Structure 1
Amino acid sequence: MVRVVVVDDEPMVCGFLRTILGSADDIEVVAEAHDGAAGVEEVVRHRPDLVLMDLRMPGVDGLTAIERIQELPDPPAVVVLTTFDADQYVMRALRAGAAGFLVKSTPPEELIGLVRVAAEGHTVLSAAAARRLVAASADESSARDQARELVRTLTEREAEVLAGLGEGLSNAQIAARLHLSEATIKGYVSRVLEKLRCRNRTQAGLVAHEAGVVRAES
């Protein structure tokens, strides 16, 4: 069972998400909160697998809440809820440790699948969305230079694995592309995250886009 906490200052949004996610046999919304501070409290109380977090809320906003959640021992995956995907707050949230984002207009059937994916520890961020976020970043130039410097510390194989992360591929998909075992790829991913000082696959994927190592056709 995937246990979810929903944090949004609009009770209607929380109710909608509770109804949609509750229709799945393997997902349970264990709590909802309407500001960031209350959201962190619910995470501490319920220890969910996943948090759906709005960013723009009065009082403690979603970005601050994400930062506080990341400081917890064994924090849950956090997926940002946003109205439009070029929001600069989204980029800041991803750099703070969010595993990805969902646009609030996401169709219900897709929402359930993406929640399952995020709860399993995978990225909820398409390559196209990552490109838009990187292009819209106010500090694009400095981020690009920093990303390229980090990527220079990788071996050629590690850079290939990083490119796969930038495309949002799973370990199995990267393994198939590189003709390696999934266990070997898992080891490479761990080393890439460590070298790039990234908390998760999503942050590494952003580095891949900023450094320009993602395949053009992705």
Structure 2
Amino acid sequence: MKTGFLAIIGTFCVVVMLAGCGRKNDEQQEDDGATASVGGTLNAMQEMAKQAEASQKNGPVATIDFRKLKDLLPADADGLARKSASGEKNGMAGFTISTATARYENADNSENIELALVDAGGSGALMGLAAWTMVDVDKETEDGYERTTKMGDNKCYEKYTTSSKSGEIAMVVKNRYVVTAKGNGVSMEKLKSALEAIDTDKLSALN
């Protein structure tokens, strides 16, 4: 249980560190249209700071019982059977985070996908889990890509490596839930299909 929460906190720290280095990276790569501009990064940091301040003033938001999130994980991810599912709820520094995850595999595990549902509660926690919602990214190499996109009205982040057929897609729902599909040996289309198997209308209606 602690491992998952530490991973979330680790993600928060990494995002903050990367955002702090954004201006330096932009200066080094000013000709690279695949990265966010210096101004965009600074604006994103200012917006995240505002959200964190507002979250502190409004007080912590009660997160959903992880069991309700777990119930929304499908039994099948685009043809891959679910092999395990787990959930947890943890708190630190005034934030409480609920998480539910499930792993899906084929017979020899040459294809696998992990789906995760996270209730970040207030925007203060969300900014650490999905800071990419504040910027636009579009980067492409010979072996893959990284970009921000949309599925319906929800902003998404995609990253894929062609040679290893591995990648991830994350989506923010109702400005508090982060839905993620990560996989190996699968196409991005399969990851998107797995993500779409989660009923976001039911997720939005949870209380």
**Which one has more relative contact order, counting CA pairs under 8 Å at least 6 apart?**
2
Q: TM-score range by the shorter chain?
A: under 0.3
Q: What is the TM-score of this pair, normalised by structure 2?
A: 0.26
More strand by share: 2
More helix by share: 1
Q: What is the TM-score of this pair, normalised by structure 1?
A: 0.25
